[in-house]
Amino acid sequence: MGQISVEDCGIEGLKVITPAVHGDSRGYFMETYNIQDFREAGITETFVQDNQSSSVRGVLRGMHFQVKYPQGKLVRVIKGEVFDVAVDLREDSETLGKWFGVRLSAENKKMFYIPKGFAHGFLVLSEEAEFFYKCSELYHPGDDGGLCYNDPELNIIWPGEIGPEELNIVERDRSWPSFSEYLAGKQH
């Protein structure tokens, strides 16, 4: 792997990727995606859609997934800082219901690979953040699923520098089911 270092996250498939940054007096250069390096790291997804969002401090987006057309994602921040979280929803996984979070920023240039079968969300920690992600499946309107971001069973520990009164969450993201409700719904 020439241009990236890869860190496993304790949940099979999740990876934090740090690209090699080549800097000089003019600025810097880095490869954000190279199919050969990623395949050597065990990431064999073919990405078919790129998305970018801009959000202000305190925005929490998540915890999202597509139900029938799950997406693998490679996410990074190109301006600002977020706390990015993935929750394992794979029924056959030993870590079903476990989460992992990582700070992604324009400064640290880290990327987070989230394979299919995870719920995903992030909290904006900086005054503004631009978030970029590659997806392995196209977005399908009406195929949205989600989990409650503050479900006590999941016990996601969001960074304390954003207080509950600062959270900016759309009603849809406030009303997702708990993890137990999600699992009970899969039984039907």
| Amino acid code (one letter) for 29 | F
Angle among Cα 53, 16, 35 to the nearest 5 degrees reads 80
Tally of domains in the chain: 1
At residue 165, the 3 state secondary structure works out as helix
Is 69 considered catalytic here?
Answer: no
Identified catalytic residue from 64, 120, 149, 182: 64
Identified catalytic residue from 22, 33, 113, 133: 133
Domain membership flag for residue 69: yes
Q: What is the pLDDT of residues 126-171, one digit of tens each?
A: 999 999 999 999 999 999 999 999 999 999 999 989 988 999 999 9
Domain membership flag for residue 14: no
Q: What is the pLDDT of residues 56-91, one digit of tens each?
A: 999 999 999 999 999 999 999 999 999 999 999 999
Domain membership flag for residue 29: no
For residue 59, the cross-strand partners are 168
CATH number of the domain to which 165 belongs = 2.60.120.10
Domain membership flag for residue 20: no
Quick one: how many helices (H) and strands (E) in the chain? 3, 13
Task: Supply the pTM of this predicted model.
Answer: 0.94
Domain extent at residue 163: 45-186
Angle among Cα 171, 88, 179 to the nearest 5 degrees reads 45
Is 113 considered catalytic here?
Answer: no
The encoded tokens of residue 145 equal 């699923």
CB atoms inside a 10 Å sphere around CB 134:
21
